[in-house]
Amino acid sequence: MPGRGPLEGVTVIEISNMLMGPFATMALAQMGARVIKVEPPGGDIARGIADSTGRGLGPIYLNINRGKESIELDLADPGDRSTFEALVAAADVVAHNRPPGSEVRLGVDYATLSRINPRIIVCAMYGFGADGPYGSLGAYDDVMQGISGIAAHQTGEGPPQYVRTPLTDKIAGIVAVGAISSALYERERSGSGQLVEVPMFETMVGFLLAEQQGECIYDPPRGPAGYARTNSPHRHPYATADGLISILASTDAHWTALFRLLGESELSDDPRFASIRARTENIDELYAWLKDALARHPTAQLLAQLHESRVPAMRVNTIEDLFVDPHLVQTGFFERVEHPEAGALRQPAAPVRFSRSGSAPLHAAPSLGADGPRLRHEFGCAGTM
């Protein structure tokens, strides 16, 4: 029988709110870690977002805090501080998203926590690297999308636009999962913990520049930044005769098949489109042709032909469509969970699968402080209630 995930036996103390930190620790819980969420008096602010229950169980909170235990602690209170230190002494990881400086005042910095537990790994998820001029500033996703270049890049020469999902929080959170896992692996060899820093700004700049640095990769630059294909104004979902599809032909074989299916096989020999370099240089003209050609064909027939020819293409889903998507239905991606207060929930399962170690089945996100009495008893702090 598969186990409960590759991180079974790892205990994570989370001191974070909103999205980046909780998203990271929820992924760790999906991989089998035990996650104890230490919430301040009143709880994680995300509890109140779109909370129709009035019980601090809004949908964002419910989605990204599954599989965790909750204890409400005021770290400035001596009794609660004692409970927190008992948790740290028995833990493997502390994850927080406090700005540099404030974590020292709160007493969750690596220097303080490593004196309690020399094997502790502290993952600090910041807006900016602590050693830069922005280091002490707080940050949220909109701010990060602006400063990192993401917002301006969305529209080229038009007004900057935010991506309509908290992209930077979630990407930095996933980077934090990899960093924490790497630190746990290193600790198995060294026996010592360490501080892991994940700054959102630097993370997103590296993320964006991977393909957008263009000729600015050279020093001095040999031309403009950017990647012509992704920056083309003609790159978008395309209308068919009766719907919309997304399509990305990339290789010579893809385009040869696509030209044939759309009735213009001779374009395979057109010097404008015969190689990936030529197609990139003439991408606006190519995508404009593709838009007109696709509009003449019905969606179902077109997708069947594209799939048979191994050209990557799919229909365009709305968020509501995802819950009835036949692939997600058949793979059992959405799990039904009964929450004792919020009722029946439908939530995404872990996308990553482990053949031998398995994945942890996550219980519903906890109500504020729901596990406090049990945790105090477990960690020998019953007298601090």
Q: Count helices and strands (H / E) in the chain.
A: 17, 11
Residues 6 or more apart whose Cβ sits within 8 Å of residue 28? 7, 10, 12, 35, 93, 177, 180
Mean pLDDT of 197-214: 95
Q: How far apart are CA 138 and CA 144, in angstroms?
A: 10
Give the CATH number, domain containing residue 257.
3.30.1540.10
Are 118 and 193 a contacting pair, CB within 8 Å? yes
Q: What is the pLDDT of residue 52?
A: 86
Last residue of a domain, one of 315, 342, 364: 315
Q: What is the pTM of this model?
A: 0.91
Handedness of CA 325, 344, 32, 96 (dihedral sign): positive
Same domain, 242 and 195: no
Residue 378: helix, strand or coil by DSSP?
helix
pLDDT in tens, 14-51: 999 899 999 999 999 999 999 999 999 999 999 999 99
- Is 223 within the bounds of a domain? no
In angstroms, the Cα distances linking 22 to 59, 65, 74, 203, 284 are 13, 6, 19, 17, 41
Report the candidate in 322, 316, 280, 287 with the shortest Cα–Cα distance to residue 299.
316
CA 22 to the chain's CA centroid = 10
Instruction: Decide if pLDDT at 360 tops 80.
Output: no
The answer to whether residue 254 is catalytic is no
Domain that holds residue 83: 11-207+330-384
Whether residues 173 and 257 share a domain: the answer is no
82 and 124 together in one domain: yes
Q: Which amino acid is at 288?
A: A
Residue 376 lies in a domain: yes
pLDDT, position 382 = 60
pLDDT at 359: 79
User: Is residue 62 included in any domain, yes or no?
Assistant: yes
Same domain, 153 and 246: no
CA distance 311 to 370: 51
DSSP-assigned letters across all residues of 312-371 = -EEEPPPHHHHTT-HHHHHTT-EEEEEETTTEEEEEEPPS---TTT--PPPPPPPPTTTT
Distance separating alpha carbons of residues 369 and 45, to the nearest angstrom: 14
Count of structural domains within the chain: 2
Two tokens, residue 61: 């909170």
Do 75 and 115 fall within a single domain? yes
Let me know whether 133 and 250 are in one domain: no
Catalytic residue among 153, 236, 307, 339: 236
Instruction: Give a yes or no: residue 65 inside a domain.
Output: yes
Q: 295-353, pLDDT tens digit by residue?
A: 999 999 999 999 999 999 999 999 999 999 999 999 999 989 888 888 899 999 888 88
Same domain, 60 and 197: yes
In this structure, the answer to whether residues 27 and 108 fall within a common structural domain is yes
**Residue 336, beta-bridge partner list:** 346
